């Protein structure tokens, strides 16, 4: 809603003109792929999906989508907001994803990483060495 309000009432200027704003919709649709895959993997591993209780995690999931990103659900949310910003077209709408990424890292990801490191120790550290927080495998040194 904030992104819409910014684009509607304080658009700065439109960086994506119509009909190009329609490209935001396939981006938003694609944003669901990684979170759905993560949800399915968590269900198969029979571990919690609740981001507010990472300490109750019973299994460290490191395969599938988790072999490419440590945070597929937050990545999906970020891509969703990027698609929404494209659909809105206004420069001010892009503040949404630009604010979300550092905010979600500070408020949610860092505490989750601490809980997982406490719970799984070296296994989690090794995983962090292999896979980036947002996207991509790390290169071997």
Residue 78 Cα to chain centre, angstroms: 5
Task: For the chain, give the number of residues.
Answer: 141
Q: Cα–Cα distance between 117 and 55 in angstroms, integer?
A: 10
Residue 45, H or E segment: helix 33-45
Q: What is the per-residue pLDDT across 33-85, written as a single tens digit (0 to 9) for each?
A: 999 999 999 999 999 988 888 888 999 999 999 999 999 999 999 999 999 99
Whether the pLDDT of residue 28 is over 60: the answer is yes
Q: Read off the DSSP letter of residue 94.
A: G
115 close to 55: Cβ distance less than 8 angstroms:
yes
Q: Is the pLDDT of residue 125 over 90?
A: yes
pLDDT at 55: 85
CA-nearest of 65, 39, 78 to 137 is 65
Q: What is the DSSP letter of 134?
A: S
**pTM of the predicted structure, to 2 decimals:** 0.87
Q: Which residue segments constitute the domains of the chain, with CATH numbers given? A: 29-47+61-141 (1.20.120.1630)
pLDDT at 103: 95
- Write the pLDDT tens digit of every residue in 86-113: 999 888 899 999 999 999 999 999 999 9
69-102 burial: b if 16+ Cβ within 10 Å, else e:
bbbbbbbbbbbbbbbbbbbbbbbbbbbbbeebbe
**What's residue 52's pLDDT?**
86
Average pLDDT in the 107-128 region? Answer: 96
Residues pairing with 131 in the sheet: 137
């Amino acid at each position: 809603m904030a992104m819409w309000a910014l684009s509607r009432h304080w658009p700065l200027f439109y960086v994506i003109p119509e009909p190009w704003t329609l490209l935001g919709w396939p981006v938003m649709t694609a944003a669901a792929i990684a979170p759905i895959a993560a949800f399915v993997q968590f269900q198969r591993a029979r571990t919690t999906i609740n981001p507010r209780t990472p300490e109750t995690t019973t299994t460290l999931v490191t395969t599938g989508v988790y072999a490419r990103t440590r945070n597929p659900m937050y990545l999906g949310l970020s891509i969703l907001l990027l698609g929404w910003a494209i659909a809105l077209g206004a420069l001010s709408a892009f503040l949404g994803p630009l604010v979300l990424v550092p905010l979600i890292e500070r408020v949610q990801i860092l505490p989750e990483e601490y809980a997982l490191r406490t719970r799984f120790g070296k296994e989690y550290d090794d995983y962090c060495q292999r896979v980036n927080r947002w996207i991509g495998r790390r290169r071997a040194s």
